[in-house]
Amino acid sequence: MAINVVMPKLGMAMKEGTVSVWNKKVGDPVQKGELIASINSEKIEMEIESPAEGILLEIAVDEGKGVPPGTPIAYIGQPDEKVVSGAQEEAAASIVAEPEVPAPASPQVKETPSHVTISGEKVKISPVARKMAAEANLDIQTLAGTGPGGRITKEDVQKALENVSQQSRPEPPARKENETNTKADQASRPLTGMRKVIAERMHSSLQNSAQLTIYMKADITELKTLQAQSAASVKRRFGEKLTITDFIARATILALQVHPLMNSALIDDSIHERNNVHLGMAVALEKGLVVPVINDAEKLSLSQLSASIRELAKKARENQLGSEEMTGSTFTITNLGAYGVEHFTPILNPPEAGILGVGAAEDQPVYRRENLERRSILPISLTFDHRLVDGAPAAVFLKEIKGYLEEPFSMLV
């Protein structure tokens, strides 16, 4: 009996997983433990191993398709082994299909099971191939299957569509001078995985909150001096130097304890106040961004906080974060200073009340009393939910962070 390869559940909050890429084709031999596909869900990506040795009999979920956890995405067995019809029906039902809109003049092709009998003849066809054929109004009786046991595969349908397209393609009209084919320069792909989740959450955030951003500049000259003076001793004791980001995180945590409303959330017309600071630190990745969370950050020393930031950032870039390490934040920090950005307007990470944006520090001439001095100025911005926090208390909170950064020794006591 063929073995199901199912969509795994990557964390308690997972509702849907997407197949990013198939490493094997139908009919390919696979070994137990061999990587056969890559999947992603929300902000987690992982590779799928074959649960058994055999032949990849059928791919039930195409690349870019999303299905719930536990849905069969492929079947592995012996050559010419039949896939259990019930399992195929379950897989087909789990795939989210777009509405079928047949052409008015073409006969409508009704969906049939993977093994159907038409005019006394059994037709073997995979669920994905059946869906593609139905959408294109192809008669599956005219298709030649190249899969195990003559099964019609996705590739067979694609080949048939190419043949039909070539036969029915009219002569292209003569192109006018200076006329360009804009469609030739366009490419499209489905919005899936991490990018899809980010798109949905950011759009929802802007639609469901009243966001306002305010800006300040902090003089971090003394902070950079303290960082440089303590670098050698800190590295000798703890193995790593403290970064400006570590101090910014520490200042934010202390400010949140003084202004607990910025550490709260508005959920279903109720204000949820949090006693502990669960600090989210946005990390940019090649395919998007993630926000690992430092739980109970107020209980950590500066060196412990620094170690947690480094560890979570490393795990994020190596795709080793668990779903529990990316949920439950009460406030977030996002830093674009490394890219030369000054002020920007970060978008809230729902349901948080605020998010701190950090820009690039620059040396600027500044008058102090009657003297013109060279000072290091750091731009910071605060986006907050105006439904929960008014402008004045938000400004006081941001000024609190600014104060800690300008008097860094206050963060050490």
Catalytically active residues are 386, 390
Residue with tokens 């929960």: 388
HSE value, Cβ hemisphere, 13 Å, CA-based, for 75: 25
Alpha carbon distances (Å) from 45 to 10, 18, 192, 316: 9, 9, 12, 11
The answer to whether the Cα torsion of 387, 389, 392, 395 is positive or negative is negative
Given a contact cutoff of 8 angstroms between Cβ atoms, the answer to whether 88 and 4 are in contact is no
Prior bond of 292 cis (ω within 30°): no
DSSP bridge partners of 355:
332, 383
Within 10 angstroms of residue 370's Cβ, the number of other Cβ atoms is 5
Question: What are the structure tokens assigned to 244, written together?
Answer: 């400006």
DSSP bridge partners of 192:
none
DSSP bridge partners of 289:
284
Buried b or exposed e, range 16-52, using 16+ CB within 10 angstroms: bbbbbebebebbeebeeeeebbbbbbbbbbeebebee
**CA 96, chain centre distance (Å):** 20
HSE value, Cβ hemisphere, 13 Å, CA-based, for 283: 24
SS (H, E, C) 336-386: CHHHCCCCCCCCCCCCECEEEEECCCEEEEEEECCEEEEEEEEEEEEEEEC
Amino acid present at 199: A
Question: What are the structure tokens assigned to 212, written together?
Answer: 């306002």
Question: What are the structure tokens assigned to 371, written together?
Answer: 């003297």
